[in-house]
Amino acid sequence: MARKSALINVMEAAARKAARKLVRDFNEVENLQVSRKGPADFVSNADIAAEKTLHEELSRARPDFGFKLEEGGVIPAKDEKHYWIIDPLDGTTNFLHGLPHFAISIALMEGPNIVAGVILDPIKDELFWASKGDGAFVNDHRLRVSGRSRMADCVLATGIPFLGKSGHETFLREANEFMGISAGLRRFGAASLDLAYVAAGRFDGYWERGLSEWDMAAGIIIVREAGGLISQIDGGEKMLEKGDILASNSGVNQTMMDILRKARRKKS
């Protein structure tokens, strides 16, 4: 059985407490109050309640740590070094449409480095977790990225730009390139779980643009601790700042990067 550190236990306990209310709300989703943050960008009282629970529980356990919250903004760290990066409900659109694919994502930054992350899928009861140097796990099972190297054997994941997002033409060129050489593309609508699935070998690669740091932070360390490669789409390391990401096993990483570069250069 995998042994969780005290830090991972704190993160898991907070996530599971928030998840209990999320699951109740999911089963009564028609009664939720929902507002728009922007075109096709929703926030519900479920998101807000989950974030409040996570903030309370993590503050109690580590009172000197700060927060970067999707709904609540930045709360400065008393120790000026540690920050929780939290998405209380990744996959809000899925959640509000009754689609059982969403997650709670928590990462811990120590200075510029991500040192721990958990992603909890409360419907499937899967906890993906990792801490720096200790490997990645789902529940009690060790995670490893897939070993596939032929694109014809690979299933890839992505995010499709929707109403209010730019990059539609670029995405269509990229998708067209991959559709012709891969075993399939998937768009499930929760970036944290897309990254967790790369770590688990369920997806062989994943790319997306226009993300926020709370969408990616926990997934970044989980993929890396599972032996995967993760970077910006052009190979840079500023994923949290720039909002674009490419995650894969080592066998298809360069191929995916080359295809994405080729698609960007093409005229529509």
Q: For domain 151-265, give the CATH number.
A: 3.40.190.80
**Domain residue limits, the chain:** 6-142, 151-265
Question: Tell me, what's the pLDDT at 43?
Answer: 59
Q: Which has the closest alpha carbon to 57: 106, 99, 127, 101?
A: 106
Residue 40 amino acid letter: A
Euclidean distance between CA atoms 252 and 229, whole angstroms: 10
pLDDT score of 36: 54
Report the pLDDT value the prediction gives residue 268, as an integer from 0 to 100.
47
Rounded to whole angstroms, the Cα distance separating 226 from 236 reads 20
* Segment 82-128, tens digit of pLDDT: 999 999 999 988 998 899 999 999 999 999 999 999 999 999 999 99
pLDDT digits (tens, 9 = 90+) for 172-204: 898 888 998 999 999 999 999 999 999 999 999
pTM of the model: 0.92
CATH 3.30.70.20 for domain 6-142, yes or no, is no
How far is it, in rounded angstroms, from Cα 249 to Cα 145? Answer: 6
Looking at residue 164, its pLDDT comes to 62
Residue 70 confidence (pLDDT): 82
55/48 Cα distance (integer angstroms)? 11
Q: Which residue's entry shows tokens 């903004």?
A: 73
pLDDT computed for residue 152 by the predictor = 96
CB of 138 within 8 A of CB of 128? yes
What pLDDT, on a 0 to 100 scale, did the predictor assign at position 213?
96
How far apart are alpha carbons 193 and 108 in whole angstroms?
17
- What pLDDT does residue 1 have? 61
Cα 47 to Cα 137: distance, rounded to the nearest angstrom: 26
pLDDT at 40: 41
The pLDDT > 70 percentage for the chain reads 91
What's the confidence (pLDDT) of residue 58?
Answer: 98
185 touches 212 (CB < 8 A): no
Ranges of residues in the chain with a pLDDT under 70 are 1, 31-43, 162-166, 267-268
